[in-house]
Structure 1
Amino acid sequence: MTEVALITGTSSGMGLHAAVELARRGLHVVATMRDVERAAPLRDAAAAAGVEIDVRALDVVDHAAAARLVDEVEAELGGIQVLVNNAGQGAVGTAEQLSIRQIQEQLDINYLAPVNLTKLVLPGMRERGSGRIVTVTSVGGAVGQPFADAYCGAKFAVEGFMQSLAVVAERFGVRVSVIEPAAVASAFVANAVRPEREGPYAALLEAYIARTSGAFANAQTPESAGAAIADAALADEYRFRWQSSAGATSFVGVSLADTDGSRVLGFTRPWISAG
């Protein structure tokens, strides 16, 4: 029986390429996006790869719609064996610049949405005694970064949730993992929420944006990141934490070995210094 993979955020970027790669590896892929009118690039990429993709609409922050979708897929296809929580959104701004609404929106899409979908697929996976849940977080889920307060906060939160769940889910044959990309060439930066470039933080923000623009100029390709997501979802080896590239592994290593926090702060301080 063909395994079913449900993946969110597939209209562009690494989500699109992860969906195609999972289909290329033999899974029935249910690829979701908020607006299926934007599905042409995904359909074109699938056709070029010689695979079919089952495209369905889902706004991941609509928890009732997510429940209906999971019910529909399980009824039609007999269960979901792989969940890839990929949908996400960035936000640029430090605490004073962000409204509580903007912070809540980051939690809604980057934390509560994957938590909700995970809760929805877990009963079926637990009953079958197998399943794989991969949440695409970020190197910002391990390393707090200037002007990424809300984004990193939400990504830290979802990593903590998934890491806590992992050992319990494992007892029922369900593998829970995260994968942490660094900069990926996509529309992610363009779609990020950002403040006006004025006020007391203006110079620091300009320095940060200049540094970040440089990082994205040398970003990993979305095709490569998508393949890494598929690798993590289908690997025979179980690991909780994956990265999408060697650069991402090096980046998160700064934090994961930083027992007093000084290493991360020393690493990120120059990001907001001009020159």
Structure 2
Amino acid sequence: MTSEKTVLITGTSSGIGLAAALGAARAGWTVIATMRDTGKAGVLLRAADENGVADRVQVKRLDVVDPESVTACLQEVIAEHGRLDALVNNAGAAGVGTIEQSSLDDVRATMEVNFFGVVTTTRAALPHLRASGGRIITVSSVGGVVGQPFNEAYCAAKFAVEGFMESLAPVAATVGVGVTVVEPGAVASEFVANLGLDIPALLAEAGPYAPALQAYLSRTQDSFANAQSPAEAAAPIIAALTDERPPFRIQTSPWAREFSATKLADLDGSAVQDLTRAWVR
């Protein structure tokens, strides 16, 4: 067991999760770096060694859509470290498509990973975080604030995450647990690459939506050409871990703040609709 603060981070095999694990370790945390497939841990472990924090990073298997996996991982953490001081909900999966051409199974799978995975892990961690007066930090997205074309299921899941955490935050505060959501914009990571999109096939199958999809994909490819690095996007997570009183909502870049502000000041929805319509024409 240890008196050092311990953080569990989901989805650490690449991207923001990997960068957050390294950043937290450099900040002095004991990091439980979890992933569904621990066979993908090599990149993280090599980076931890190169950064001189290998002794602070411990890889464990955790699949957010498997409650037994979540429970087993947390039991191991408490048995080995005696405490859990923070949970970073980062694991997620992107999805591109529109509802008429997506199966309900596809939609449910997106919700399962991006929303119910967060709910499952948060629920299991809360007793331990109450004991330590800890924190829940959840990686949402600007897609959890502004609905985006061809991302109905993904944005629905992220909207649900935002509503869940916004509702939980005042309740958790009564038992000493802080809650923060972090909203990245475009990030140059494997998150989008892992979609494995066959763009010609997507367009061929899009039927009447093909012109709109082509416009959306062109705009999205341009935005990712100027994306944040995973380390830049992870920096606010580390700040939320270490600041005395982090805010509830943090955007990871000036662009993300401006983009989210469009929605938060848009009482009748017209500003968002004007913005996103331009993406598909």
TM norm structure 2: 0.94
Residues 1:222 and 2:230 are matched in the alignment: yes
Structure 2: which amino acid aligns with 1:257? A
Q: CA offset at residue 222 of structure 1?
A: 0.8
The 1-side partners of 2:62 and 2:276 are apart by 36
Mapping for residues 36-55 of structure 1, pairs under 5 Å: 36-52=38-54, 53-55=57-59
Count of equivalent residues? 272
Residues 1:164 and 2:164 are matched in the alignment: no
Q: CA offset at residue 127 of structure 1?
A: 3.2
Mapping for residues 171-186 of structure 1, pairs under 5 Å: 171-186=174-189
Residue of structure 2 in register with 1:196 after alignment:
202
Residue of structure 1 in register with 2:138 after alignment:
135
Residue of structure 2 in register with 1:149 after alignment:
152
Following superposition, which runs of at least 4 residues in structure 1 exceed 3 angstroms of deviation?
none
The 2-side partners of 1:145 and 1:12 are apart by 24
User: Does the CA-based 8 Å contact 1:90-1:193 persist in structure 2?
Assistant: no
Q: CA offset at residue 237 of structure 1?
A: 2.5
Residue of structure 2 in register with 1:117 after alignment:
121
In percent, how many aligned pairs have the same letter? 50
User: Does the CA-based 8 Å contact 1:94-1:149 persist in structure 2?
Assistant: yes
Deviations 1:87-112 (A, max 9, x none): 11111111101111111011111000
TM norm structure 1: 0.96
The 2-side partners of 1:126 and 1:193 are apart by 40
Deviations 1:106-163 (A, max 9, x none): 11110001111111111122234x0100010100000000000000000000110000
1:196 alignment partner, SS class: helix
Residue of structure 2 in register with 1:20 after alignment:
22
Residues 1:256 and 2:264 are matched in the alignment: yes
Residues 1:103 and 2:107 are matched in the alignment: yes
The 2-side partners of 1:238 and 1:14 are apart by 19
Alpha carbon RMSD of aligned pairs, Å? 1.2
